[in-house]
Amino acid sequence: MTTTALPAAAPDGAATCQPLPRALARMLSLEDFEAAARRRLPRPIFGYVAGAAEDNQSLQDNRRAFAQYGFMPRVLVDVSRRTQQTELFGRSYSSPFGIAPMGISALSAYRGDVMLARAARAQNIPAILSGTSLIPLEEVIHEAPGTWFQAYLPGDPAKIDALVKRARRAGYETLVLTVDIPVSANRENNVRTGFATPLKPSLRLAWDGLTRPRWLAGTFLRTLMMHGMPHFENSFATRGAPIVSASVLRDFTARDHLSWEHVARIRKQWPGTLIIKGILHPQDAALARQHGVDGVIVSNHGGRQLDGAISPLRALPAVVAAAGGMTVMMDSGVRRGGDVLKALALGAHFVFVGRPFNYAAAVGGQAGVHHAIGLLRAEVDRNMAMLGINRVREMDASLLWREGSVGG
């Protein structure tokens, strides 16, 4: 395969020259991966990843929120010693961003969850394995020690206990509880693109697969031959239903009664780092701290749950104020290094990125994920230099201007 040598960011922000496949050399930003993935993936699979809830108000506002902040850089600052190194829960990471949990990633790329976790480990950033993944959590952490596990809590306390024990037994040290799914969202956009849960064989799906032969042979048929029909592997302590089973819907319901009592129960059992994902209201951040949670991820699920929910970037300052020193992270809408730095300026300790890394895996496999991480890392590095900072902890609100501010 023809390759082109392009500069890529090393973990310390220095530029190195690495050969890239021609298809990846054309990817100059995270947004470029989305257009390429649209061509590579069957319409229902791409629609599932790209889709959001109802009218896409939250999805669109996640990006709009970043555009309402501008930078006020400092100049003539010696930035020759800049580093992105970030301390998080006692561990040092090479950049202040990681890979967010994404369900059924193994339908976008062959063994997608393993691919994402391996790339993250190699680049020394965290990856979070989704509870709706199609690869057993034991296999993922074996391939990539240090991966975090994100759980959608089952409705039954005994099943919650068993799932927590399973994750602990497998060697996970960080457990992320996603709490913004009391009921299933209204994802009309998925239906319009032909995606359904359970995944239903149809002429339309067959045609989409046949017209994307690289995905059909390299991902779907390869998965069937090597591993059989994909199952939801990590929803419970035992193997879940296959993706084509009608019982899938039953497995993802009965969560509307979950409460902070369940968090307290898990806190007593889980000796490692415990994180709550899906916080938008400052009072919930305060409750998380009261229940002994180690950190929260401010998130509206990438716009995939409650349409019209406030964007995490807008919610961030109030949540940070209520968190009382607890670690606050953020996801949803991050596409550029500048976005990462804006989130840090508003109080986030760390940022997670989802869809773009899924697209990168679909387009270029593990090399694609490496390239996507490198692009984002290089943007953070350049922006730090132009803002006049040497360490990410120097990024604060004094370097931001908000649309509508006095004097604007």
Binding residues for FMN: 101-103, 130, 150, 178, 277, 299, 331-335, 354-355
Q: What share of the chain is helix, strand, coil (3-state, %, to 5)?
A: 45, 15, 40
Please report the beta strands in 10-115, taking only residues with DSSP state E, as ranges in sequence order: 15-21, 69-71, 86-88, 91-93, 97-99
Please identify which residue in the block is written with the tokens 């010693």: 81
The binding site for glyoxylate consists of 48, 152, 187, 301, 304
Helix 337-345 / helix 312-323 crossing angle, nearest 10 deg = 30
Please list, in sequence order, all residues whose beta carbon lies within 8 angstroms of the beta carbon of residue 156, skipping any fewer than 6 positions away: 254
Residue 281 designated active-site: no
Could you tell me where the DSSP H helices lie in 41-123? 43-50, 57-67, 112-122
3 state SS of 317: helix
Sign for the pseudo-dihedral over CA of 17, 18, 20, 25? negative
Please identify which residue in the block is written with the tokens 């020193």: 325
Buried b (16+ CB within 10 A) or exposed e, 285-320: bbbbbeeebbbbbbbbbbbbbbbebbbbbbbbebbb
The binding site consists of 48, 101-103, 130, 150, 152, 178, 187, 277, 299, 301, 304, 331-335, 354-355
The one catalytic residue in 231, 301, 349, 371 is: 301
Angstrom distance (rounded) from CA 328 to CA 24:
33
CA distances from 59 to 111, 182, 303, 329 (A): 27, 19, 4, 19
CB 279 within 8 A of CB 170: no
Helix or strand holding residue 250 (H, E):
helix 247-251
CA-based nearest residue to 311, from 67, 140, 37: 67
Which sequence positions are flagged as catalytic? 301
